[in-house]
Structure 1
Amino acid sequence: MTSTASHKHILDQPFVLDLFAGPGGLDVAGHSLDIPSLGIEWDRSACLTRYAAGLDTLHADVSAIRRDAFETLPPEINVLAGGPPCQTYSVAGHGAGRQALDRVKEYIERLMGGDSDQEIDEDLKTLTDPRTALVLEPLRYAIQATRSPNRENRPYDVIVLEQVPAVAPLWKHYAKVLEETGLPDGTKYKVVVDVLDTETYGVPQTRSRAVLIARREGLGEPSLPSPTHHSYEAKEWNRKRGSSEPDQAPDQNHQPTLDEAAASGSDEGLLPWRSMRDALAHPVGSHPGRVTPFLVRSNYGSSGHPGRRGVRTDQQPATTVTGRISRFVVFEHLDENIVYEGPRFSMNEAGMLQSFPPDYPWSGTAQAQQVGNAVPPLFGAHLLSAALGLPVPDPEVLRKPWQPATDEQRAKLRSNGCGAADACTDRCPQAKDQVPPPSSLRPRKGKKAAAK
């Protein structure tokens, strides 16, 4: 179900709590809609990016805040949002989460049945990869809100979640229990779940996400955001371009017509999907613009599909932007016979392919991983707008250079988030506390594994 009704704001003053906030994709989305947010993020470098961007942040473990410091969260928060870490569910990972789907569904039932946190935490220790359990945190926060004296036991009004497509069965189970069983205090929600493609919302990248939008009963039926752009289909693109190779285009100097750019769709009123050229060709802020046509060779499948890996031209959307974006090889060409390796994507450019504003202040280490892990802000803005009954977001807001925080603002944000203006403190999580399990515990692949 997508949004077709006239816009009616369901909350007068929305305030978002962003779990697993990363470098700020959903918070930037909120910023573009003038919606305040507070993010919780355990990774130090992602927090440094957030402080530099001027985003309110707690450098903390989501689970620890729920257990030990929930009462310190602002009571006026009424929107719960987030994208739990996807590594154990992603096709790029080892698959521990995908293999544990049925067990996780059982934990969902137990939480809604009122089982104690202590019992569930003890049982969760048996999971092969502890990160698998993080997908339960949004539900545990929703329950905790109804037990919070600081909130007067008031439940969240709206819940917005996104994850890799493999998590869709869990979001559907979330929907079932939220609608039929309700939280332990009796609160029920109306819920919609689906897998959406980000290029259909103007993001210059093919990326599929499992989405859940829930509204507390009495706040109206929720709806998914209506697409604004056509979807991208590689087969149709290649057919019209006369290529038999996946995601290849032989005539690099051909300028696509609107019909070709929107080759996969016939819906009237939708814009053509946005290409990498659309996002990167023009100078903006410190970005000089990539005026020379280029090809990109990816080492990762598009939208989580390994079969879609290959080469794309600047006239196509980017493949799924992951932490490997800095490894994508970019070839520039002067004509059909002269091709050479050009500069790889800068972090600014990688962020723009995710729909982050130009000059977003990527900070700390593993910046490519930060970019790849983030929610595309334009996609996030569509999700929040649909969830809250707001008008379709204006993408031009996110194409303007980002104004970073001043040194004074950044120091204040870090003091609030870490406990000191220029350093982490003992209250900040340690990286060693959340790492992948030893290789001996991970699912094994290949002939040796099959032989066991």
Structure 2
Amino acid sequence: MNSPETQVHHLDGVRILDLFAGPGGLDVAAHFLGFKSIGIEWDRNACETRYAAGLPTIHADVSVMRETRFDEIPRSVDVLAGGPPCQSFSVAGNGAGRRALDTVKEFIHRLVDGEDEARIDKDLHALGDSRTALVLEPLRWLLKAIETEGRDPYKVIVLEQVPAVLPLWEVYAKLLSGGEGRLKGVKYEADFWELKTEQFGVPQTRTRAVLVARLPGHGAVEPLEATHLPFELHRGKRNAAQADMLPTDSAIPETKQRWISMAEALDAASKLQGSPVDVARLRTGDKMKFFVVSNYGSGGDPKNRGRRLSSEPAFTVTGKISRNKVYKSIAEYEAGRSDRFTIPESGVLQTFPHNFPWSGKDQAQQVGNAVPPRLGMHVLGRALRGNAPSDKELAAASIWPSVSRTTTEDLRRLGCGDQSQCPPESHKVIGSRRKSAP
């Protein structure tokens, strides 16, 4: 980070530090709630998207940043947020993290008890998957703030991960509530939940483990209240003809709204001025009807690809969403004529604004790695204000404000100005030509 004048301009009033920030799911959520954030992200491509979106960013390794550059974090930051990489805990991954859950719980206690961190790092390395250790980083950042002179403990902590990490969030919550060891008597009100994204207006089925902790004085941390009904898929009892038979909101007696379908989300985005989402190819007459065949197997059979109707929420949006096949009809399916979701369409299914400026390479992976901003708005709203986002805030979240090239360049200099402090190989130079994201 360089140019102090530039830093002051873009970082003034920043409250939220987003570890493992990705392209900015939590930062987008914070923006629409009226909070300023700064993210730490090691992937150059995700950083390019963040710069284009006007999101303050430090292009660095989270661990290195904590160890050697902690003083560069604005002192106005009082909220710690993050979603550590989940591949080693994910059901879709190799399972190393799941098998090591009990071991990682021990590491959490060892950190708080004050054991030598060099020894802890050595033992973590022996686990064989460096990503597993990253779930400890939020705790290490909290301990760093508590133990650094002139810094205050974070007032609020917000963490999210795949459901398999819920037992670790339980350990986090108990330790944060106890205030023992290196926490030095700092106690939090803390709770954790498993949340289904479609119950918060996200047009996809995705389950996340979320922890929220706050210093006393702001009341107990209350569970989030779902705004939409869960999506229940009764496999084997549905066919394409049922697309018009699904209940409408008026047919449901409960006060909650029905989940949002792919067709509803994409159609709404396509009607916004200047939208890059063009769903004309998915329409038959004046109706949008299609079905999606997943890239993943179902029921333990890799050849049994799951299917979703356009009148249903999407499958979990992953980095492989561009491999999902979209068909308008059975005839297209039988003929092998498939379509794909574009990056803007994939972003909309993640509840990013329709015009979010996806940049750099591996954009599908960026979309899949992100926290759905709409879920983020509900989580941050509860954590920072004690209430859900308003209808006005949610409506505004469909359009991203334009960002000048000057701002993007300022943020790139702020985040990548000293390339020697960026992750190794991320600015690799071959001869006189630089290999980088566009």
Maintained 8 Å contact 1:251/1:336: no
For 2:188, give the aligned amino acid.
Y
- Residue number in structure 2 paired with 1:104: 104
> What is the CA distance between 1:360 and its match in structure 2?
1.1
- Residue number in structure 2 paired with 1:293: 289
> How many angstroms apart in 2 are the aligned matches of 1:157 and 1:175?
14
- Residue number in structure 2 paired with 1:403: 401
> How many angstroms apart in 2 are the aligned matches of 1:93 and 1:228?
31
- Residue number in structure 1 paired with 2:172: 174
Maintained 8 Å contact 1:71/1:148: no
> How many angstroms apart in 1 are the aligned matches of 2:338 and 2:363?
21
Say whether residues 1:277 and 2:291 are aligned partners: no
> How many angstroms apart in 1 are the aligned matches of 2:199 and 2:370?
18
> What is the CA distance between 1:32 and its match in structure 2?
0.8
> What is the CA distance between 1:70 and its match in structure 2?
0.6
1:91-112 residue CA offsets vs partner (Å, 9 max, x unmatched): 1111111111111111110111
Maintained 8 Å contact 1:43/1:431: no
For 1:399, give the aligned amino acid.
S
> What is the CA distance between 1:114 and its match in structure 2?
1.8
- Residue number in structure 1 paired with 2:225: 226
Maintained 8 Å contact 2:14/2:74: no
Moved more, 284-293 or 192-201: 284-293
- Residue number in structure 1 paired with 2:25: 25
Residues 374-413 of structure 1 mapped to structure 2, 5 A cutoff: 374-393=370-389, 394-400=393-399, 402-413=400-411
CA RMSD of aligned residues (A): 2.7
> What is the CA distance between 1:295 and its match in structure 2?
0.4
1:8-33 residue CA offsets vs partner (Å, 9 max, x unmatched): xxxxx881100000000000000111
> What is the CA distance between 1:142 and its match in structure 2?
0.6
Cα distance, 1:404–1:306 mapped onto 2, change above 3 Å: farther
Q: Percent identity?
A: 49
1:160 counterpart (158, 164, 181): 158
SS in 2 for 1:213: strand
> What is the CA distance between 1:180 and its match in structure 2?
2.2
Maintained 8 Å contact 2:14/2:38: no
Cα distance, 1:33–1:122 mapped onto 2, change above 3 Å: same
Maintained 8 Å contact 1:252/1:336: no
> How many angstroms apart in 2 are the aligned matches of 1:308 and 1:335?
19
> What is the CA distance between 1:253 and its match in structure 2?
5.3
Gapped regions of structure 2 (runs ≥ 5): 1-12, 428-438
For 1:325, give the aligned amino acid.
I
For 1:311, give the aligned amino acid.
R
1:216-255 residue CA offsets vs partner (Å, 9 max, x unmatched): 13332112321000000102xx6xxxxx25xx53306525
Maintained 8 Å contact 1:357/1:398: yes
- Residue number in structure 1 paired with 2:186: 187
2:241 counterpart (251, 254, 258): 251
> What is the CA distance between 1:338 and its match in structure 2?
9.4
Maintained 8 Å contact 1:52/1:361: yes
Gapped regions of structure 1 (runs ≥ 5): 1-12, 239-243, 434-452
> What is the CA distance between 1:309 and its match in structure 2?
5.4
2:351 counterpart (348, 355, 363): 355
> How many angstroms apart in 2 are the aligned matches of 1:341 and 1:252?
23
> What is the CA distance between 1:36 and its match in structure 2?
0.2
> How many angstroms apart in 2 are the aligned matches of 1:432 and 1:301?
34
Say whether residues 1:89 and 2:118 are aligned partners: no
For 2:207, give the aligned amino acid.
S
Maintained 8 Å contact 2:19/2:41: yes
- Residue number in structure 1 paired with 2:136: 136
1:329-369 residue CA offsets vs partner (Å, 9 max, x unmatched): 00013999998734310000000000000021111111111
2:319 counterpart (323, 333, 336): 323
SS in 2 for 1:121: helix
> How many angstroms apart in 2 are the aligned matches of 1:15 and 1:259?
38
Cα distance, 1:209–1:337 mapped onto 2, change above 3 Å: closer
> How many angstroms apart in 1 are the aligned matches of 2:211 and 2:63?
21
For 2:422, give the aligned amino acid.
C
